[in-house]
Chains A and B, each alone.
Chain A
Amino acid sequence: AQSVSQHNHHVILSEAASLELGCNYSYGGTVNLFWYVQYPGQHLQLLLKYFSGDPLVKGIKGFEAEFIKSKFSFNLRKPSVQWSDTAEYFCAVNVNTGNQFYFGTGTSLTVIP
Chain B
Amino acid sequence: SAVISQKPSRDICQRGTSLTIQCQVDSQVTMMFWYRQQPGQSLTLIATANQGSEATYESGFVIDKFPISRPNLTFSTLTVSNMSPEDSSIYLCSVRGLAGGRGETQYFGPGTRLLVL
Contact = CB atoms under 8 A, between A and B. Distances in A.
A46 B107 contact: yes
Interface string B98-117: 00001101111111000000
Interface in A64-111: 90, 92, 94, 96, 99-101, 103-106
A37 to B, nearest CB: 11
B76 interface: no
Nearest to B109: A43
Contacts of B108: 36, 43-45
Contacts of B45: 100-101
A51 B103 contact: yes
B48 A99 contact: yes
Nearest to A51: B103
B111 A43 contact: yes
Nearest to B108: A44
A71 B77 CA distance: 40
Interface string B37-74: 00001111100100000000010000000000000000
Contacts of A105: 41-42
B103 A104 contact: no
Nearest to A33: B103
B92 interface: yes
A84 to B, nearest CB: 20
B103 A44 contact: no
Contacts of B44: 103
10 contacts: A32-B102, A32-B103, A42-B110, A43-B92, A43-B108, A43-B111, A99-B48, A101-B106, A103-B44, A104-B42
Interface of B: 31, 33, 41-45, 48, 58, 92, 94, 96, 102-103, 105-111
10 tightest A-B CB contacts, nearest first: A51-B103, A44-B108, A32-B103, A43-B110, A105-B42, A103-B43, A103-B42, A106-B42, A43-B108, A100-B45
